[in-house]
Amino acid sequence: MSMFSLSGRRALVTGANTGIGQAIAVGLAEAGAEVICAGRRSCDETVEAITQAGGSASSVLVDFADPMAGQGLFGDAPIDILVNNAGIIRRADALEFSEADWDAVMDVNLKALFFTTQAFAKAVMAREGTGAVVNIASLLSFQGGIRVPSYTASKHGVAGLTKLLANEWAAKGINVNAVAPGYIETNNTEALRNDPERNQAILDRIPAGRWGQAEDIAGAAVYLSSPAAKYVHGAVLNVDGGWLAR
């Protein structure tokens, strides 16, 4: 069997109704995983794409605006792979940034990610199984960005938690890693692409010379979920068209 095969594994992907989460769900299914698509809205489109391609998928509704909403996700059939992809961004000058925008972003991007991962790991360890966690970080896990203070703080936090959890769980059968996407064409970056000057400045800095597509992220998530990455712990893998190399 291929070292990248996810056959026999069950994966839960948060925010799988669109964008990067949708592409990761499809990629994991193509690699053989049974995929549970978790979203605050229907993931029907993703489930249909997977099943039409001959894969196996189902969906569950969960809203991480309540950071503890993921607690009930791991009680039934065992789940081996957790992809923490759900995330939001709020843009405003630091001087004007509101507490509401701070809390909303931190709750979904960081607090929900931590407590959902904690619930996942408890379930894996209770059955003495093995598991993989793939967190979706960002270039703003490394860089400051502009006008996105809570997003930058949350994504730096995601990179830090990835390493902390790897340290605690590497010897306990759970791999914790992250993927840091570059500039990807999704709802998250629509405002940037609609601003011609920002759009051009971003394009000019990407060595690959183009925005990324959601599908560009799927392979890294498959790899970090697979036996090929079994000795990889606490890594944050940039998939950014070369942005951080520049």
Q: 197: phi > 0 → left, psi -120 to 50 → alpha, else beta; which? A: alpha
Q: Does 152 bind ligand NAP (CB under 6 A)?
A: no
β-bridge partners, 181: 239
Report how far apart, in Å, the C-alpha atoms of 155 and of each of 3, 142, 160, 181 are. Answer: 30, 8, 9, 11
**Residue among 16 and 132 whose Cβ is closer to ligand NAP:** 16
Q: Which is nearer to ligand NAP, 30 or 215 (CB)?
A: 215
User: Least CB distance from residue 52 to ligand NAP, whole Å?
Assistant: 20
Q: Which stretch binds ligand NAP (CB under 6 A): 44-52, 57-65, 142-150, 170-178?
A: 57-65
Pair 235, 178: CB distance under 8 Å: yes
- Under rule CB under 6 A, residue 25 binds ligand NAP: no
- Residue 65 near residue 87, CB atoms below 8 Å: no
Q: Are 71 and 120 in contact (CB under 8 A)?
A: no
Q: Does 18 bind ligand NAP (CB under 6 A)?
A: yes
User: Closer to ligand NAP at the Cβ: 5 or 97?
Assistant: 97
Q: Closer CB to ligand NAP, residue 63 or residue 76?
A: 63
Considering only residues 11, 25, 35, 108, which one is a binding residue for ligand NAP as defined by CB under 6 A? 108
- Burial (CB < 10 A; 0-12, 13-18, 19+), residue 51, is middle
Residue 246: its H or E element: none
Cβ-based nearer residue to ligand NAP, 8 or 207: 207
Q: Does 17 bind ligand NAP (CB under 6 A)?
A: yes
Report the nearest approach of ligand NAP to the CB of residue 127 (Å). Answer: 26
Exactly one of 11, 57, 88, 165 binds ligand NAP (CB under 6 A); that residue is 88
Establish whether 151 is a catalytic residue. yes
Residue 205 sits in the site that holds ligand NAP (CB under 6 A): no
Among 10, 40, 90, 163, binds ligand NAP (CB under 6 A): 40
Out of 55, 67, 70, 87, which residue is the one contacting ligand NAP (CB under 6 A)? 87
The answer to whether the beta carbons of residues 217 and 179 sit under 8 Å apart is: yes
Instruction: Please say whether the dihedral angle defined by the alpha carbons of residues 75, 8, 52 and 229, taken in this order, is positive or negative.
Output: positive
- How far, in Å, CA of 5 to CA of 3, rounded? 6
Closest CA to 240 of 154, 159, 136, 87: 136
Does 114 engage in binding with ligand NAP (CB under 6 A)? no
Quick check: 190 and 145 in contact, CB under 8 A? no
Q: Provide the minimum distance between the beta carbon of 120 and ligand NAP in the complex, in angstroms, as a whole number.
A: 16
Q: What are the residues binding ligand NAP (CB under 6 A)?
A: 14-15, 17-21, 39-41, 62-65, 85-88, 108, 136, 138, 181, 183-184, 186-189
Question: Would you name the residues annotated as active-site residues?
Answer: 151
